[in-house]
Amino acid sequence: MLLINCPHCGDRAQTEFTYRGDATVQRPDPATASQAQWLDYIYFRDNPCGPHIEWWQHSAGCRQWIKVKRNVQTHEMLGSADATGEIADEIEEAPA
């Protein structure tokens, strides 16, 4: 069981959360974006083997979207923040 630190509610079980995916992906500006930018945004991912910043929604809790930093090779939790916040580097990153 993943134990996910919700910045609003504290450590909660993964079953309270819904996963969304890579939180570093930025939606391009529709007014100026090229086709290549849209392509990259929709289909292409870094998919790192190591620390990964991702969206989770605390759907069975406070219902807030949060950012979580997690090592996808070890499932180790490396920090979390509100959706608009930045994750503090309190925990040393495990080597990828």
**Distance linking the first and last C-alpha atoms of the chain:** 22
If binding is defined by CB under 8 A, does position 63 make contact with another protein?
no
26 touches another protein (CB under 8 A) = no
Task: Report the SS3 class of residue 9.
Answer: coil
Is residue 1 at the binding interface for another protein, with CB under 8 A as the rule?
yes
Q: Say if CB 78 and CB 71 are below 8 A apart.
A: yes
Distance of CA 50 to the CA centre of its chain: 13
Determine if 38 is a binding residue for another protein (CB under 8 A): no
Per CB under 8 A, residues contacting another protein are 1-2, 14-15, 19, 21-22, 39-40, 42-49, 52, 54, 70, 72-75
